A and B are shown apart, each in its own frame.
Chain A
Amino acid sequence: MKSRRQHLLSPFISAAMSVIPGFSTGVSTDSDIVVDSGSKKFTELHIPSQSEWRVEIPFQTVLKLNVVSGIAEIYGTELPNNVEMTFSGAKISIYAPQTESNTGCTIKYTTGIKKSNQSGMSSGSNGSENEITEYISEEESSMVQNINLHFVLESIRQQTNEGPRVMVIGNSQSGKTSLLKTLAAYALKMDRSPILVNLNPQEGVYSLPGSLTATPISDMFEVESTNGWGNTTTSGVTFHNPKQPIVKNYGFEKFNENMDLYKYQVSKLGVAVMSRLEEDAEVRQSGVLVDTPALTIKDFTIIENIVSDFEINMIVVIGNERLVIELRKKFRHKVNNPLNIVKLTKSGGVVEVDEAFVRNLQQQTIREYFYGTLKSPLSPYNTNIDFKDLVIYKTVESSEFNPSLAFLPSGDDFTPEVDDSDMMDEGNGNRKSNEFSLDKYYSKVEEPDASLLSNTILAITQLPANDKSAKNLMNTSVMGYAYVSDVDDAKKKMRILLPVPGTLPRNILIVTGIRYIE
């Protein structure tokens, strides 16, 4: 029952192009979106109950939609009725849940092109890449299992005083993140606020790509923002309630680019999350939802680490029967500390995302970090800074540290020589701290220059100035990110974009492998 339709765009022309004052960087922001007020032609569409409207909106294209009647949700987050919502650079699925009346929902939508891209598209394009692709798909079975899983989690919350701690495993693009969003959104509707942990550094969740984060989901997702997450706190007011994550630096987008660092940061994030659960009864009762990169049985050590770091008591495997069997076998010993392993069938509606789309999403995520969303625009701050005032580290790639390791299958036979007991022990960490070596994780940059820094994202650590402890560097979290827009090797200066006005509040920075082009 799939019918694919292509929509031609009406060529919108904007009378006035708005540019955020104070920033002549040529960055396009959401306010550059052409809003055609006169001749807007809305297409009305009925989504039958338990069906999903899948739509792919290119980055240059803007889709505006209204829920005219009925209930519509995006990954469990209900959309307001008769409110115009704007989407761009997104693949979204609007689902009409089963209700008493079972009448589905009706939406209307229209499309346009972002102003800033109208002139810039010179590459002989006929505009077809700006067309949205959309179709309706019947989704009863996969949504039913999501709802059932939600009820399982909610009964656990009801029956115990510790919420479920769930980890989702599946191939890339198997719908892990969508499932977790749905579960978190449903939990929210039960008046819960679970912590959403993102261990997939390819996506920045309330942060930038390259980070590992944990965020209590205490209010709705902002479905219109990049990847449908939303804002963290700002200096002013935001249209939606913001979220408050903790951010750990990893610095790469693939978990196996430096597995030592990855595992280390996962464990430190686990410590933070478990401590938060101790402190915060509401969050403890709501539980933890952990998103992961595409892990296979070859990455069992990582799976095992995550299970122990976050005291996981349920693993949900999406669409991989074999992995379920293997995991049940390997976790057989966990009888005293029950670990449920359940599987969900992969939703037919999981959209294939190509490499270019992932890149664009990452760029959009970074832009949103500095410039905010359409509904809550933010003003970042440009400043010049001398290298001499800074202590700069960079993340080591495994291949740099030990080239031979780079050729091993990811995760196989590669157990880092890390003394966990020492690392976990922050209180009296002096015992071995002199011997602790940064080599596997970070290296100090003695001569920063343009070739290293240009267009990179810098993680600003929480470390106070002149803290020289390697251990502290490993254990610190990220205070924020800066973007290096210009490097002057002669003057040994660089120009950086900061999210917050003022001087750089910390001087210990980590160069990440994440790049951004304004």
Chain B
Amino acid sequence: MAVFDQNKADLLSDFEQSLKELTFPALPVIENLTEIARENTDVADKILQLIKTRIAKSIPDHKLASLYLFDSIVKKIGPPYNILVGDEIFEIYSNSYLLVNDKTRQRLSNLFETWKNTKSKGSNSPLFPRNQMDKIERFLQQANKSKSGNEGDAYGSGSGSGPGSGFNTASSTAPSSTHTTPGSTPSLPNKPMLMDHSKSTLTNASLIKDIDTLIPFSQNKLRNNPSDSKLQERINALSKLRTLLASQNMSVKELQTIQDRLRNIMQQEFGSSGSSTPTGMNTIPVQTPVPVVATTIHSSLSSSTSPSQSNIANEFFNMLIASGLVKVDQSLIPGSHPKYELKFPRIIKTGSVGNSISSASNSALERLLYGAKNGLTGEIGKTSSNMNNINNNTNTNTNGGVVGFETLKNIELNKLNVDPKNLQKFISSNKPSSVSISLLYDSKPSKCGTCGKRFSDDENGIQKRRLHLDWHFRVNKRLSSNTSTTGGKGGIIQSRNWYLDGYDWVKFKDENLLEYSTNGADSANAMNSLSLSSSSKASTPTPGSNSNNPNSIDGLLLNDGRVPFVVIPTNETNMINKCQICQDQINATYDDDSGEWRWVNCIKAPGEGKNSRKIFHATCFLEANKKRGADGDLNVKVKREKI
């Protein structure tokens, strides 16, 4: 019994996932989901609910796809779906219509026309109740009237949604001010309703004022619906904008760009709640949006990622779109791929908060791009959460309200009240509360998509998470570059290190092993230089033990993880060589992969010719160089000489 229920639960959660991935009307996906709906009519109500939620909550540009799916299901399957939706059809339809751009509206109009002529499958009754259809009819008439009334308006030109403007024009007819009461016909505006159209009034301060109106509204909504992560993201995006506005002087163009983001957020805010708009929004229709930095992402993104990853990627994109960092332009031909542009706010120079956010965002985006291009799936999901955390960070800075994990843990441990005199009793009879158990899980809500490690949402956790993701990224890049250059698994040439001796182990700090180590970050930037491996770097040199520390002989490697070597010229007859520094004999090693003979762990003396026999142990060279340096800096790096 339980298994049956679970199967259904899984099915629904799969369905929900697929819905999230349905950002444009992809025929195979719609057909597939329709089939699933057909086979699972026992949970029709739940499936319908998922679709309705998706239609209501997705961003305007994605609504059409789920509406098409909805259409496909009610037409091809009919009962029980069209019956169940019944009296809600007007609300679903009109709410969506209000939020989409003109092009999509035209499609929705066409869709409505088809409904008029469709019968409920297997019967002769209409697809939807008569009264609902009539309501939609009247609604569309009014909408068209108000639209044609606006057409002569100087600001009506925003209706064009050609490449480069699709995202911003979504609000050009400004339906967001519409007062919508569920179940009743909304009165569409007869005049353009957002005030203060003149560009001269558009200032930082006026936009901040708008944000200040929006934030409490959104926060209030969040209180009623604390699990709505989209809402949280929106608040974060707003806070971020406010920070930027408060600290920067901006050009009119920049202000316009920001204002457009704001309008978009506003649309979603009121689109999903159906409540009224706060007044006082500065609004200018923008004819030419001004991306400060524009990079075209090829639409191969969605096809190059695996399904589970692309889902996360899409969520990430939704969020970026919502925050205005990514501009979407989608031609609404079914099956066509949307085009994305990145828009980095150039702005930020002062204000450390804004600065760190910006650079982090950029690197997140860069990583995303990198991942998309190289098929490094897995990175995407993590950058997504990374981004999310950055936003949360902003939120924390603005509102100052996140309880740190450490605090949470201490509160909970104190509550547990472990009696040190009777541990046995506690161990045998305590019934751990879900709160205390959640210390092990949800109290650190961000879980790494690659390794499962959890991170808290407090500043410490955010920082660690960022380093962790960077580290995964570096490791994956290195592992994959090692693999690709030599074509196959054999390309990764690395070996286990020797263990530390007692003295070094006692002095060792494990932070040098971890992604939080700054050494790791350094080495990522210095792929072509030599440095000591982490173990010997961390071991403290001791008088006497220094010269024969085994790790300083064998721990030396190039920063991309390979052991340095000198290829022996093919015309060389004497395979035995010696180190110019320590005079030790160096024997040749044959490398099966390359078919080369090599002097391993060696580098050629700087400035020596191709056939020179003058070589050093890499370690000897590093040691010698270190001694030459004024201080005995352990982290001294030597440029790898051209060989």
List A217-246 residues whose CB lies under 8 Å from chain B.
218-220, 231-246
- Given A149-B427, A219-B514, A501-B600, is A235 in contact with B452 using a C-beta cutoff of 8 Å? no
Known A21-B593, A80-B449: A244·B513 in contact at CB below 8 Å:
yes
Q: Mark A71-87, 1 if CB is under 8 A from B, else 0.
A: 10000011111110000
**29 A-B residue pairings within 8 Å (CB atoms):** A21-B490, A78-B441, A81-B447, A97-B440, A144-B430, A149-B427, A152-B426, A155-B416, A189-B454, A190-B439, A191-B406, A235-B496, A235-B497, A235-B555, A235-B557, A236-B492, A236-B562, A237-B478, A241-B513, A244-B505, A245-B505, A272-B505, A342-B423, A342-B427, A377-B492, A378-B496, A381-B495, A477-B499, A477-B502
Which of A193, A314, A376 touches B510 (beta carbons < 8 Å)?
Answer: A193
Chain B residues contacting A502 (CB-CB under 8 Å) are 553-554, 600-601
Instruction: Write out, one digit per residue, whether chain A residues 397-425 have a CB within 8 A of any chain B CB (1) or not (0).
Output: 00000000000000000000000000000
Q: Is B116 an interface residue (CB 8 A)?
A: no
**Residues of chain A lying within 8 A (CB to CB) of residue B378:** 83
For the complex, is B570 an interface residue (Cβ under 8 Å from A)? Answer: no
Give the distance in Å from the alpha carbon of A501 to the alpha carbon of B6 in the complex: 53
Contact of A233 among B405, B432, B513 (CB under 8 A): B513
Chain B positions 1 through 33: 1 when the CB is less than 8 Å from some CB of chain A, otherwise 0: 011001001100100000000000000000000
Known: A97-B437, A233-B535, A477-B499. A464 touches B548 (CB 8 A): yes
Are A22 and B454 neighbours in the complex by a CB distance under 8 Å?
Answer: no
Residues of A within 8 A of B416 (CB): 151, 155
* Chain A proximity mask over B470-503: 1 for CB below 8 Å, otherwise 0: 0100110011001000001110111111111110
Q: How many A-B residue pairs have CB under 8 A?
A: 265
Q: Cβ of A148 and Cβ of B550 under 8 Å apart?
A: no
Does A247 sit at the interface, judged by CB under 8 A? Answer: yes
Are B495 and A276 neighbours in the complex by a CB distance under 8 Å? no
Q: Is the CB of B418 within 8 A of A155?
A: yes
For residue B507, CB closer than 8 A to chain A, the reply is: yes
Whether B453 is near chain A, meaning CB under 8 Å from some CB there, is: yes
Q: Which residue of B lies closest to A338 (CB)?
A: B420
In the docked arrangement, what's the CA distance between A242 and B508, Å?
14
Residue of A nearest to B514 (CB): A241
Pairwise interchain contact B550-A479, C-beta atoms closer than 8 A = yes
CB-CB < 8 A to A477: which residues of B? Answer: 499, 501-502, 505
CA distance A186 to B454 in the complex (A): 11
A18–B491 CA distance with the chains assembled, in angstroms: 12
Complex CA gap A191/B514 in Å reads 13
Do the beta carbons of B449 and A501 come within 8 Å of each other?
no
Query: What 1/0 flags go to A301-329 for Cβ under 8 Å of B?
Result: 00000000000001000000000000000
Q: Does A117 contact B (CB under 8 A)?
A: no
A171 within 8 A of B: no
Chain A residues positioned under 8 Å from B554 (CB to CB): 235, 500-502, 505
Nearest first, the 4 A-B pairs at minimum CB distance are A236-B561, A236-B494, A218-B510, A80-B452
Cβ-based interface call for B434 (8 A): yes
Of residues 365 through 395 on chain A, the ones whose CB sits less than 8 Å from some CB of chain B are: 369-370, 372, 376-381
Is A354 an interface residue, CB under 8 A from the partner?
no
Please name all residues of chain B whose beta carbon is closer than 8 Å to the beta carbon of A476 when the two chains form the complex. 501-502
| B498:A144 contact, CB within 8 angstroms | no
Q: Is there an interface contact between A234 and B497, defined as CB atoms closer than 8 Å?
A: yes
Report the minimum CB–CB distance from A278 to chain B (whole Å): 8
Q: Does B534 contact A (CB under 8 A)?
A: yes
Chain A residue, CB-CB nearest to B474: A237
8 Å CB contacts to A: which residues of B568-604?
Answer: 589, 591-593, 600-601
Interface residues on B, range: 35 or more
Does A133 lie at the interface of the complex (its beta carbon under 8 Å from any beta carbon of B)?
no
- Judged by a CB distance under 8 angstroms, whether A69 is at the interface is yes
Q: A89 on the interface (CB 8 Å rule)?
A: no
A500 to chain B, nearest CB (A): 5
Q: Chain A residues near B601: list those with CB within 8 A.
A: 501-502
Say yes or no for A154: interface residue by CB 8 A criterion. yes
Which of A80, A158, A238 makes the CB contact (< 8 A) with B413?
A158
Q: How far is the CB of B22 from chain A (nearest CB, A)?
A: 19
B449 touches A82 (CB 8 A): yes
- Contact status B495-A380, CB under 8 Å: yes
How far apart are the CA atoms of A92 and B560 in the complex, in Å? 35
In the bound complex, residues from chain A placing their C-beta under 8 Å from that of B453 are 78, 219-220
Residue among B424, B441, B505 making CB contact with A71, cutoff 8 Å? B441
Report yes or no: B437 in contact with A147, Cβ–Cβ below 8 A.
yes
The one of A80, A343, A462 that contacts B501, using a Cβ cutoff of 8 Å: A462
Q: Are A232 and B499 in contact (CB under 8 A)?
A: yes
CB-CB < 8 A to B442: which residues of A? 99-100
Tell me which residues across on chain B come within 8 A of A190, comparing CB atoms: 409, 439
Residue pair A218, B553 in contact (C-beta under 8 Å): no
A495-518 vs B, CB cutoff 8 Å, 1 = contact: the mask equals 000011110011000000000000
Is A46 close to B, CB under 8 A?
Answer: yes
Contact B495 A501 (CB under 8 A): yes
Whole-angstrom distance from the CB of B545 to the nearest CB of chain A? Answer: 9
Q: How long is the Cα–Cα vector from A223 to B32 in the complex, in angstroms? A: 36
Return the CB mask of B501-520 against A: 1 if under 8 Å, else 0.
11001111111011100000
B308 interface residue, CB < 8 Å from A? yes
Q: Is the CB of B514 within 8 A of A218?
A: yes
- B418 proximity list for chain A (CB < 8 A): 151-152, 155
Question: Which of B448, B498, B514, B515 has the most C-beta atoms of chain A within 10 angstroms of its own C-beta?
Answer: B498
**Is there a chain B Cβ closer than 8 Å to A103's Cβ?**
yes
- The answer to whether A480 has its CB under 8 Å from any CB of chain B is yes
Query: With A151-B418, A189-B454 as given contacts, are A216 and B510 in contact (CB-CB < 8 Å)?
Result: yes
Kindly list 4 other residue pairs between chains A and B, CB separation below 8 angstroms, not including A46-B6, A98-B434, A151-B413.
A82-B308, A83-B378, A276-B508, A479-B499
Q: How far is the CB of B377 from chain A (nearest CB, A)?
A: 10
Q: Is the CB of B496 within 8 A of A148?
A: no
Cβ B499 vs Cβ A272 within 8 A: no
Q: How far is the CB of A125 from chain B (nearest CB, A)?
A: 29
Chain B residues closer than 8 Å to A82, beta-carbon distance: 308, 449
Is A20 an interface residue, CB under 8 A from the partner? Answer: yes
Measured between C-beta atoms, what is the minimum distance from B476 to chain A in Å?
9
Q: Determine if B427 and A145 form an interchain contact, defined as CB atoms under 8 angstroms apart.
A: yes
B479 A478 Cβ-Cβ under 8 A:
no
Question: Could you tell me if B515 and A379 are in contact, using CB atoms closer than 8 angstroms?
Answer: no
Chain B residues, Cβ within 8 Å of A479: 498-499, 501, 550
B505 contacts A144, CB within 8 Å? no
Contact (A145, B505) CB under 8 Å given A235-B494, A370-B496: no
User: Are A103 and B501 in touch, CB under 8 angstroms?
Assistant: no
Chain B positions within 8 Å of A235 at CB level: 494-497, 533, 554-555, 557, 561, 563
Residues on A with C-beta less than 8 A from B428 are: 145, 148
Asked if A275 CB lies within 8 Å of chain B CBs, one says yes
| Contact pattern, B 531-546, Cβ under 8 Å of A = 1, otherwise 0 | 0011100000000000
Q: Is A279 an interface residue (CB 8 A)?
A: yes
Which among B489, B492, B506 is the interface contact of A279 at CB below 8 angstroms? B506
Contact A342 B424 (CB under 8 A): yes
Of all chain B residues, which has the CB nearest A279? Answer: B506
Contact flags (1/0) for A175-211 with B, using CB distance below 8 Å?
0000000000010011101000000000000010000
- Which residues does chain B contribute within 8 Å of A22, judged by CB atoms? 490, 591-593
Distance in Å from the Cβ of B556 to the closest Cβ of chain A?
9
B223 within 8 A of A: no
Q: For B72, list chain A residues within 8 Å (CB).
A: none
Interface-centre pick from A232, A499, A500, A506 (highest chain B CB count, 10 A): A500
Q: How far is the CA of A158 from the CA of B412 in the complex (A)?
A: 11
Within 8 Å by CB of B489, from A147, A282, A377, lies A377
Give B446 Cβ to nearest chain A Cβ, in Å: 12
* B119 interface residue (CB < 8 Å to A): no
Contact B434 A379 (CB under 8 A): no
B181 interface residue (CB < 8 Å to A): no
A320 CA to B424 CA, complexed, in Å: 14
CB-CB under 8 A from B450, the residues of chain A are: 80, 83
Cβ B498 vs Cβ A505 within 8 A: yes
| B451 touches A (CB below 8 Å) | yes
B444 interface residue (CB < 8 Å to A):
yes
